Amino acid sequence: MYGSKAKNGAAIRLLTLAICTLVLLSFAPGCSEIISTPTPLPPPVLPEPPITEPPAVSDNQSSTVAETPPAAEPSDETWYQVASFEGTVSETTPQFHIYGTEWHLNWAVDADDLATAILKLDIYTKAEPFAVWHTVSSNGASSDTVNFFMSGLDKRDFFIKVTALNLSQWTMNIEDNAIAATSYPVKITYIHYRGTLFPPDPTKGICIKRVEPDEYVVIKNLSECAVELSGWTLKNISKPSPQFKFPPSVILPGGIIRVYTDEVHPETGGLTFYFGTGDIWSNDNPDIAVLYDAQGNEVSRKSYTLPMKLNEEAP
């Protein structure tokens, strides 16, 4: 009996083992699918880097791009008209004054044959009219510009002797780089040079003839500020004559001063002063009045034009 039970137990174990084997074999394909390598995913799309400007070229790098050259800086030099002359024959120019530290002489000629045309300019200073200061020649050219530089010791009043041959016309234009005399707001605006002759009048105690005592120079303040004139001087630089030194006085904006030769006229308004005795302003040759400040700097200058006499013919 014990033997039959043992056989039954073994049979059962064998049957159980067979069943388990069948179960495992049935699950084998499924497991193989589960553990198979999955299909790879596409790589992630990375964002594009932002667009950046090319780096600036440093001082020690060279650039292949042609650079635009910087524009030339405008010159601060300004030129002012001093005098202009023209003619057809040889002559001597009137005097002119240079205020700045540099001046130009621009000349031009008009001629049928430049090879035979002659323009020679001998420049003299008023202080040394016997010695040529500088000479300019055309040398076959039709025009040119000559530059001159001035020092603080140089004489500044000039005239030019022009030699002109075989040409139709010559012209000269003179400019300098300062307007010290014309930029100041106080100016000489008028010269009354033709005064009155007063014969002796014993009844009034006048025993001598008075020569043009009513000549005068008008000085005007063109600015909007009052100007102190104490110590200023007025001169006739064309001939030896007394100079007038201003007493303590102020010229108001728009105000005028008359400086008479030998009279005082308070009724004219403004300030009036006495210049000196005698005929100061010539009636035959134009004189030049110059006004200086208290430090001796030239402030203004003016001349005048004489009318043509009846017996004179136009040139």
pLDDT in tens, 14-35: 666 666 555 445 544 443 443 3
Query: For residue 196, which amino acid is it?
Result: T
Q: Could you write out the DSSP letters of every residue in 268-311?
A: GSSEEEE--SS--S-SSS---EEEE-TTS-EEEEE---PPPPTT
| DSSP one-letter string for 232-282 | -EEEETTS--PPEE--S-EE-TT-EEEEESS---GGGSSEEEE--SS--S-
The CATH number corresponding to 80-178 among 3.40.50.720, 2.60.260.20, 2.60.200.30, 2.60.120.380 equals 2.60.120.380
What is the per-residue pLDDT for 76? 54
Residue spans of the domains in the chain: they are: 80-178, 181-302
**Is there a shared CATH topology between the 80-178 domain and the 181-302 domain?**
no
pLDDT score for 35: 38
Which stretches of the chain drop beneath a pLDDT of 70? 1-77, 152, 179-183, 206, 208-210, 308-315
Homologous superfamily of 181-302 in CATH? Lamin Tail domain (2.60.40.1260)
| Chain centroid to CA 314 | 40
| pLDDT score at 100 | 77
Residue 239 neighbours by CB under 8 Å, 6+ apart: 282, 287
Distance of CA 172 to the CA centre of its chain: 23
